[in-house]
Chain A
Amino acid sequence: GAGVSQSPSNKVTEKGKDVELRCDPISGHTALYWYRQRLGQGLEFLIYFQGNSAPDKSGLPSDRFSAERTGESVSTLTIQRTQQEDSAVYLCASSSLAGGPYNEQFFGPGTRLTVL
């Protein structure tokens, strides 16, 4: 079946502009995660959505970052007033959580953001 998709695959923007990144999770997956991966670095947790519960925003680095998710479908990550240090690959992942927390996360291909 279809995996997690993300758009755009690449985004180049100027410092100070706002950007919006989109994630389409696997159908039926109630959990959705956003991560940031800087070049040569690990996966930095940003935000977690689970069904209709309040999201866990504990990983968002600043108030310039926000994310929304409508029900159990599409999610958008918005970065306002982008800075050069925001340049990274932004990965989205979804999980079914059918077996509790021991569930595989399925990652999207990522959006490579470059802030000039």
Chain B
Amino acid sequence: GENVEQHPSTLSVQEGDSAVIKCTYSDSASNYFPWYKQELGKRPQLIIDIRSNVGEKKDQRIAVTLNKTAKHFSLHITETQPEDSAVYFCAASIQGSYIPTFGRGTSLIVHP
């Protein structure tokens, strides 16, 4: 099965800085990579996703990049704000599977 590693487990930045969270996956058949944000005490919510037919996707201050050769993908948050503080989970789904494998999460802390 798929295995997803996520780093770092904790990331602390100053407001306005950029934050990068990296994930690696093991199965080259994975072709869908969503990112979920979970604020403290709240439910996870999808913030961005990417399919294997593209290398980068942006949505305002967030972007995701995918390197299929190296089997890793990253979440980039620019101009971080305190409300970006949350746990971020990456996931990977093998082609044909409806069950994603999640990373262990990254706790992002944005200091004002």
- Cα distance A91–B45 in the bound complex, in angstroms: 12
Among B61-69, B77-85, B97-105, the stretch in contact with A: B97-105
Q: Which residues of A contact B105 (CB under 8 A)?
A: 41-42
Chain A: how many interface residues by the 8 Å CB criterion? Answer: 23
Chain B: how many interface residues by the 8 Å CB criterion? Answer: 24
Determine whether B73 belongs to the interface, using a CB cutoff of 8 Å to chain A. Answer: no
Is the beta-carbon distance between B44 and A107 smaller than 8 angstroms? yes
Task: Name the residue among A45, A105, A110 with the largest chain B CB count within 10 angstroms.
Answer: A105
- Cα distance A94–B29 in the bound complex, in angstroms: 24
Is the beta-carbon distance between A50 and B34 smaller than 8 angstroms? no
- How many residue pairs link A and B with beta carbons under 8 A? The number is 53
Tell me the B89-110 residues at the A interface (CB within 8 Å). Answer: 89, 93, 95-105
Is the beta-carbon distance between B99 and A56 smaller than 8 angstroms? yes
Is the beta-carbon distance between A102 and B46 smaller than 8 angstroms? no
Which residues on B are within 8 Å of A, measured CB to CB? 6, 32, 34, 36, 42-46, 49, 51, 89, 93, 95-105
12 A-B pairs whose Cβ atoms sit less than 8 Å apart in the complex = A31-B98, A42-B102, A43-B44, A91-B44, A97-B98, A101-B98, A102-B51, A104-B34, A105-B34, A105-B36, A107-B44, A109-B43
Which residues on A are within 8 Å of B, measured CB to CB? 4, 31, 33, 35, 41-45, 48, 50, 56, 91, 95, 97, 101-102, 104-105, 107-110
